[in-house]
Structure 1
C-alpha cells in the first residue's frame, strides 16, 4: 500500500468515524480519537489501542477525568492493507474493535462476534 501522510490518514479515520452508526457513537462520552505512527514499542502488529476506563468499570467516574483515548496506528494499518479500500475496511474494523473496549467488550467477546 502506498504511504499516506499523517493528514491523509487522519482524514480517512474521520471519514470512518462519520460512517459509524449512531448507536455505536452516541454512547461515547469523554473520548478522543487520535492517530499515531506506531505504538510506543515500535510494533507493527498493533493496529489500534483503547486507553481508558471501560464504561463497565467506571464506578465513581465523574468530572475532571482526562478523556479516554482511542488511538489508530498509521504504519501498522498501512502495512496490513494492500489497497485504499482495504485500508478503509481495516480502519473501520479497528474503530469498532476499540470502541467495543470502551463499552467493556473484551477480545474474547469480540472474537465471538466476528470483530477480532
Structure 2
C-alpha cells in the first residue's frame, strides 16, 4: 500500500489530470474535480455526478457544475507503488470523464477502459 496524505493525493490527481490528452479535457464544460477519502456507501475509486453531454438538451447558464469525484483511500489501499497509483488515478479519471461524454460502462468495457 502506498502512503499518501490528502494534500499529496490531491496534487497527484491534478498532475495526472494535466497529463491527459487535450482532446479529452477540452470539452469538459462546467465540471469540477473533487477528491474525498471514500464514498460513504460504496467501495468506489471514482464517481461522475451530472448529466452527460449526450443527455443535456437545453443545458445552459446557471446550471450547477457536474462533479467528478476521486476517492483517495481505495486508490492507495490497492496500489503497491507510486507508478501503480498514478496509473489507477489515470484510469479512474478517464473512466469518469468518459461518463461525462455519455460513454456507459458497457461501452467502456468494449473499449478496454473498464
Q: Same fold per TM (> 0.5)? A: yes
Distance (whole Å) between structure 2 residues aligned to residue 102 and residue 52 of structure 1: 7
Q: Which residue of 2 aligns with 1:25?
A: 25
Distance (whole Å) between structure 1 residues aligned to residue 109 and residue 60 of structure 2: 31
Pick the aligned partner of 1:66 from 49, 64, 67.
64
Q: List, as ranges, runs of 4+ consecutive aligned residues in structure 1 with deviation greater than 2 Å.
A: none
Distance (whole Å) between structure 2 residues aligned to residue 2 and residue 95 of structure 1: 19
- The alignment's C-alpha RMSD in Å is 0.8
CA offsets per residue over residues 59-98 of structure 1, 9 Å max, x none? Answer: 1111101100000000011111111000000000000000
TM-score norm. by structure 1 comes to 0.96
- Are the equivalent residues in 1 in contact too, given 2:37–2:72 (CA < 8 A)? yes
Distance (whole Å) between structure 1 residues aligned to residue 104 and residue 58 of structure 2: 21
- Are the equivalent residues in 1 in contact too, given 2:35–2:72 (CA < 8 A)? yes
